[in-house]
Amino acid sequence: MELFEAISTTRAMRRLDPERPVSDEDLRTVIEAGLRGPSGGNSQPVRWIVIRDPEIKRQLQVIYQRCWERGRKRYVERPGVIAPAVLNSADHLAAHLHEAPALIMVCAQTGGKRHDASVYPGVQNLMLAARALGLGTTLTTAHLFAEDEVKDILNIPADVTTYALIPIGYPLGRWGEAKRAPVESVLYADRWEAEGAR
Ligand SMILES: Cc1cc2nc3c(=O)[nH]c(=O)nc-3n(C[C@H](O)[C@H](O)[C@H](O)COP(=O)(O)O)c2cc1C
């Protein structure tokens, strides 16, 4: 797949086919793409836990759904912030998270501190690689409301921080272009441009 097509069609795919497994080879390929992301000083702190055990997935789903309900409230209280279709699809994911063929927990051993900028570039690489293989992903962070519980389940040490829980599988829906603002509305020349000043 052409890179720019992968970039423009990589979006949150929350409805995944529970009946269609993802091969070990494909999981390895996406993790390899992920670990090629940059990190500060090439410290490479990211660790990837691929979860396929049905019981562990179920335990994570229960926690994730509770966390999502909490996060969801914030959106519902501020109408217009999130499209109803996105809410619906996020609700679906919360109820069906454990049915994804695999979940990928992205962690980093950074002494309890957050090193987001050394982690998320690799996450995007992983999602693009998944797209190239026809696999859907969603970057989720709702579990952070109950990170300690999640760490307990996954046996993650105290000095390791979690960054994203990514369900991966073949999408039930169709790929489409991710909706984003036009470039003119976000691109400034030389200096910050106040809204309405252009
Ligand atoms: C930092 C971050 C946290 C996110 N957390 C969640 C989440 O917990 N649950 C979820 O369903 N989607 C989550 N998303 C996905 C976003 O809702 C999604 O990327 C956004 O709506 C754009 O969707 P699109 O790429 O399909 O257009 C998260 C995305 C980011 C970047």
Q: In angstroms, what CA-CA distances link 134 with 128, 144, 175, 180, 190?
A: 10, 28, 9, 21, 39
Q: What is the 138 CA–ligand 1 centroid distance (Å)?
A: 7
Residue 25 has a pLDDT of 98
Q: Measure CA 185 to chain center.
A: 26
Residue 79 has a pLDDT of 79
Atom of ligand 1 nearest to the CA of 142: 8
Q: How many other β-carbons are positioned within 10 Å of the β-carbon of residue 3?
A: 9
Query: In the structure, what pLDDT confidence band is assigned to residue 121 with cuts at 50, 70 and 90?
Result: very high
Q: Is the CB of 141 under 6 A from ligand 1?
A: yes
Q: What percent of the chain has pLDDT over 70?
A: 98
Q: What is the 12 CA–ligand 1 centroid distance (Å)?
A: 6
Q: What percent of the chain has pLDDT over 90?
A: 88
Q: CB-based contacts of 140: which residues, under 8 Å, 6+ apart?
A: 64, 93, 164, 165, 166, 167
Average pLDDT over residues 9-24: 98
Average pLDDT over residues 52-57: 98
Q: What is the 94 CA–ligand 1 centroid distance (Å)?
A: 12
Taking the C-alpha atoms of residue 131 and residue 115, their distance in angstroms, rounded to an integer, is: 25
Q: Is the CB of 143 under 6 A from ligand 1?
A: no
Model pLDDT for residues 64-89, shown as the tens digit of each residue: 999 999 999 988 888 788 888 899 99
Residue 184 has a pLDDT of 94
Atom of ligand 1 nearest to the CA of 68: 8
Higher pLDDT, residue 44 or 75: 44
Q: What is the 173 CA–ligand 1 centroid distance (Å)?
A: 17
Taking the C-alpha atoms of residue 158 and residue 167, their distance in angstroms, rounded to an integer, is: 24
Q: CB-based contacts of 20: which residues, under 8 Å, 6+ apart?
A: 101, 169, 170
What residue owns the CA closest to ligand 1's atom 11?
A: 90
Phi, psi dihedrals of residue 54, rounded to the nearest 5°: -60, -40
Intra-chain end-to-end CA distance of the chain, in Å: 37
Query: In the structure, what pLDDT confidence band is assigned to residue 194 with cuts at 50, 70 and 90?
Result: confident
Residue 76 has a pLDDT of 86
State which of 141, 147, 166 you would mutate to test the pocket of ligand 1, scoring each by most atoms of that ligand within 8 A of its C-beta: 141
Model pLDDT for residues 133-179, shown as the tens digit of each residue: 999 999 999 999 999 999 999 999 999 999 999 999 999 989 999 99
Work out the mean pLDDT of the chain and round it to a whole number: 95
Q: What is the 139 CA–ligand 1 centroid distance (Å)?
A: 6
Residues 16 and 101 sit within 8 Å (Cβ to Cβ): yes
Query: In the structure, what pLDDT confidence band is assigned to residue 198 with cuts at 50, 70 and 90?
Result: low
Superfamily (CATH) of domain 3-185:
NADH Oxidase (3.40.109.10)
